[in-house]
Structure 1
Amino acid sequence: MDGVAGEGDVAGEGGALRLLGLLADGAPVAEVAAAPATERARELAVRVASAREVHRRREAGLSALLETARALASESDTAQVLDAIVRRARALLGTDLTYLTLHDPERGDTYMRATDGSVSAAFQSVRLELGAGLGGLVASTRKPYWTADYWDDERFRHTTDIDGAVSEEGIIAICGTPLLVENDFVGVLFAANRSPRPFTREEVALLGNLATLAAVTLVQTRALADAESALAALSTAHETVRQYADGIERAAAAHDRFASLVLGGGGVDDLTHAVADLLGGWAALVDEDGSVRSATAGAAVPEELPDLGSGRVVGADGVYGLAVATADERLATLVVGGVGELADADRRTVERAGVVTALVLLFERQAADARQSARNRVVTELVAARGPEEDRVQLARSAGTDPERPYCLLVLRADPGASTRALALSATAATGEGSLVGAHDGDVVALVPGADPDELARTVAARMGRRAEVTVSGVGPLTGVDAVSAAHEEAVRAVAALVALGRRGQGAAATQLGFAGLVVGGDPDVAAYVERELGSLLDYDARRGTDLVGTLAAWFAAGRSPRHAATALHVHVNTVAQRLERIGALLGEGWQEPDRSLELQLALRMRQLLASD
């Protein structure tokens, strides 16, 4: 018997404590999954450990990219930059070898320029025509491709020269991603293995980020080399050399300033202020929707910015702009002014600031996406009401919200085709601290602290409307996690009713729609509507054995005449008056007003129809 009791303790509270200890010590998923505990406790612990490992990998990738950016920025020789790129790629992905090919515009192909881990001389000198082999396919389409087994993959054209070099190197699995600056093709960065290996999307994305960083650094290194050559050629012109050297020094100082900010955890606001300090004017960062994300004192951003399609600093009327972009996406616009005529060195400072800002924006986006993905899972768990109540309460609290305090549930719906990811991120900012926001079933669901769902829905719709048309419905106030599922169903019906009523872009509580929401909303819940309108009277009748609901129905049927209602009910008129007084106290002020009175009569009728089923 003692042995049995001990095993129960391990599988119960003792097992749960052991799981918590493993999680606190950072144990791997396999060790957590093998620990003795109840099935539910082990399932939750494995989910937490898995999420933590995903976050660790993402953080490790971001840290490695940042360290790579710092290391590449310190290199001034093109050959050293290329060698550093392939070494970093191999270390980050843990493959057998990595290599980099560069584009030859004159011959129209790519040639091997740097390798790490290669043992074949033939492989190290191979050239790839555009469209041939996996690398040629990447070069011609400018898109990443990867294969777990090169020899059985028929997506690309095999040639004798390429297949011979790949065979001599013993390569099986390959992943290649293009090096692009704006829309200019620079080359291809590869990671390869000598045994079959599937590349995950995270690894492909990591290689792509490194390729973007490498392409920009390579172009800047070439530009710096060109500048240094020009400086040597102009050595006889002392003043010109002095000015150019001063520009290089300012560019180096700007680089050191930007690197220090990023390595110190600074954000785009710090970078914007650094640009203004270095140039002596003002600076601002403008999002793609035209909103100013960060600005220094005195910033005067024009309503219309100059054409920035060239990827260079463009000026008009004393204001200069630069597109902050990756290889295939424009992220924001860096605007500077109050600096007079920009010298070449100052233009390079702005361009360098644009590159660093793009990296910071990408890092912030990846971190925000990871946080939002975790919130999405929590919202789905709460809406689906999966698992014990205590587990769901702890899950909500781990996401930063307290379901035991009064809150309202909002459903946000944008036009079809809109990004729920972007909508969820915007809703997080619009709902404020203490809210839990996540995407669920095509909508965005938010648990927002407060007791007035109508006011919250209207406020959030107005804030979101500054960027896009978003319809918001609200239900509440609520407490506890068990209320989430039913409240979500009601809010979904209400937001569908708002859209059907032509109130897109507006916010309202479900209770404000009344019978109209029941009629036009999808999947109407008649019983819930009756309960919402008559619940206080029904509860009173159930507790006291009275018939206030019947009295109210008779009063309406008698044309609001207490005397005629008393006749119909076979009671004294004073009894009807007393009951009406009690009804008024339970329903609250304004219950006899036309709109409220209509809702009550409709609810009485619906109740009668439900009873006759």
Structure 2
Amino acid sequence: MAREEDDPIDQVTRLLELLASDASMARLAASPAPDGIKDLVMRVSGTRDEHRRRESAQTALLDIARELASEVDPATVLEAIVRRARTLLGTDLTYLTLYDPQAGDTFMRVTDGSVSAEFQSLRLELGDGLGGLVASTHKPYWTADYSADQRFSHTSAIDSGVSDEGIVAICGTPLIVESHFVGVLFAANRSPRPFSRSEVGLLGNLAALAAVAIVQTRALAEAQTALSALSEAHEMVRQQALGVERAAAAHDRFASVVLEGGGVSDVTRALVELLGGWVVLVDDAGERRSAFGPAPDPADGGADADPIVQLSVVDRARHEIGRLVEDDGIHAIGVIAAREQLGTLVVSAPRTLEDADQRTVERAAVVTALVLLFERQADEARQSARHRIVTDLLAARGGHEDRTAYLRDAGLDPRSPVCLLVVRGAGPTQLRSRALTVSTVLGERSLVGTHDDEIVALAPGEDADALARSLAGRMAKGASVTVGCSGPIRDVDDLPAAHDEAARTARALIALGRSGTGAAATELGFAGLIVGSNPDVQEYVTTVLGPVLRYDLDHGSDLVGTLAAYFAAGSSPRHAATSLHVHVNTVAQRLGRISALLGEHWQRPEQALEIQLALRLRRLLDDS
């Protein structure tokens, strides 16, 4: 009699209980039951597992779709697709190639699980390899052993990369959106593996999601680019509108300056109020004509070096006529009228100057030139009167009282000493404009005019040499001139002779190769004796030999005689001692005393020449 557990009904019951408990296929296969019933239960279990796998795949696809929908970065989207494909199919690696329409091939874009640099840099021509065939036919292909599969066009580059990665089985499916080929999604294994149709279908679903996500992210990127371009265009239009408003405001402001009779200081003030920062107007002589805002102080560059004038951008503006130039945030433009540069406008704004701001600076330069022309016309009217005064003074027209009144009317005190300066170097067409510049440099208390082809100026002071050097130096910032000076002059009747002396001094400086400098006749050494109209020989001798003469007078010595003997003996102490009838050591001691009085460099050629000339003139004075 059979045991109860061998009853077929009990076997079927236990088999169905295992099926209901979700037992594995192996347990179902090992459970005793009639073969027909067991086969049916196995098919039901397999169908159920397949449905579960499909449900799991569908759930994964929905999760992937939600993940991709939240991504906007194309690189992140591609990495997520490849990573999920590897997880769902359980392969050793997955990768994605993208189509390059310009090159007409596909290139490796993203990999997951790859270890070969050669494989990761592969490019696949359409039709080459499994991937190239997928790309050219837009159909999926798969193989359990790629190297042995002759359906594909094998190339050395592809086979080398596949071999370096160790790939055996490959499945590839195209990424297509609305008939547009985008790329290929691959799953690969390093051991033989047959891909089921359900796995190929799952990879195809992933590829469809990938294609849509790629197109969407590209469209989003293009939309963002278009939106950015639209925003830039809107901002450009807005800036242009603001520029038009600023230009209109600048035009109205500058027009009011001109119509209200304002000066260049009003233009610089208006420009700062429009742009901020600081503005400085430098005239053609390199002097500050007006300034507004926190510009560098003129004293910061030293006694004769305004830091604004030293800027390289100012020099560029002088040469690039009519153009606004910039260097290190500072702009400069020449102030031009009738092809003549009247000055330079220097601007430092707290922000980058846009096109409208640059046009404002250029307009300010034009208005400044207009205002300067108005001022020049007024100055020339006043200067014409001064030219006549200078001509009358140099020609000694009128009586003494009349000429004294001329000085007083010009703002000079006839009771105070003045110096007369002659300025050479201005061409005939520049003579009057340079006279205006000289008048500006010397100040209101000076009297400046033209005489023949020279500029003549009277300025208060006693140091003629310092005055000449200062004027030549300050004028050199705009144009090089040579200045001769005589003085101090205390009598108006001495002006004609002083003019002759200053003119000869200027000519002597040019002849001596010292153009562009200034000096008084008395400072030219023995050359001053040549150019002076009334040379003071005794003063010259005293200036050169004074310390030695005073020592001889105080000590009853004759160092002057030793000097004369020394030079007469060809600067030989031994021969000088012979002519003086003293020991050579005595001559050496006297020469040492002379060095202490005249300085250790008294035997240098230039000073020695002055000393010998003074010694000869002293002997001539003594003989007269």
TM-score bracket, normalised by the shorter chain, equals 0.3 to 0.5
Q: TM-score, normalised by structure 1?
A: 0.44
